[in-house]
Amino acid sequence: MRRLLWLGTTLLLLVAGCAPAGQDHLAAVPSATLPAGPGEPALIYTAVLRRYLTSPQDNSNLDFATVFVLDHTDGGAADPMRATAATAGPASAPIAAADQREIAAALADIAPVRFVGSRDQVIVSADGCDVVRDHGVLLLLGPPMANEGSVRVGINGYVACLGATWLTYVVTHQPDGWQVTGTTGDFAVA
């Protein structure tokens, strides 16, 4: 009986240790923990968006001419199992208007960036498939989450019903600013 109890406890601990990596112990970064200076969230998001938009290996070769970004963060941005990004999930917060302007200006060399309040503003139906209008991509960002000396930011990119990606970036503060240094956790493509 003791052996069965030990085996059951061991299996329970092993299964509990298989929770999605990097999600259960992350906490939103309070602004006080970010390096001093105005616009730090904008600098983090600019680094994340620049990496995503210019890295075919990250954005799964999504084709776009216009970039739409939801005007709020969502803690479930990198979770492909969510039915839709239409409703705010955990750790949802607005992206400040000043940060939106800074991000759009910093990424103007890549594509026009427009912030929108909801998916419904940019999604249209084409032959039974939801697509982003104006040959665009719709991006949903997660809030910056502190983790062992870095910040993690989830992102979801959506072009059409069979054109979407979900991943989480690791971002660190370098001498020349915030830089994406890699990814963590799952990477999903539809």
Q: What is the mean pLDDT of the chain?
A: 80
8 A C-beta contact, residue 189 and residue 164: yes
Helix (H) or strand (E) holding 59: helix 56-59
**Torsion region of 51: left, alpha or beta (phi above 0 gives left; psi -120 to 50 gives alpha):** alpha
Note the pLDDT of residue 64: 86
pLDDT tens-digit profile of 139-169? 999 999 998 889 999 999 999 988 999 999 9
pLDDT tens-digit profile of 106-143? 999 999 999 999 999 999 998 889 999 999 999 999 99
Q: Is the pLDDT of residue 2 over 70?
A: no
8 A C-beta contact, residue 157 and residue 165: yes
In whole angstroms, what is the distance from residue 166 CA to residue 182 CA? 14
In single-letter form, the type of residue at position 29 comes to V
Question: Per-residue confidence at 84, pLDDT binned at 50, 70, 90?
Answer: low
Cα angle, residue 90 at apex, residues 88 and 95 outer, rounded to 5°: 60
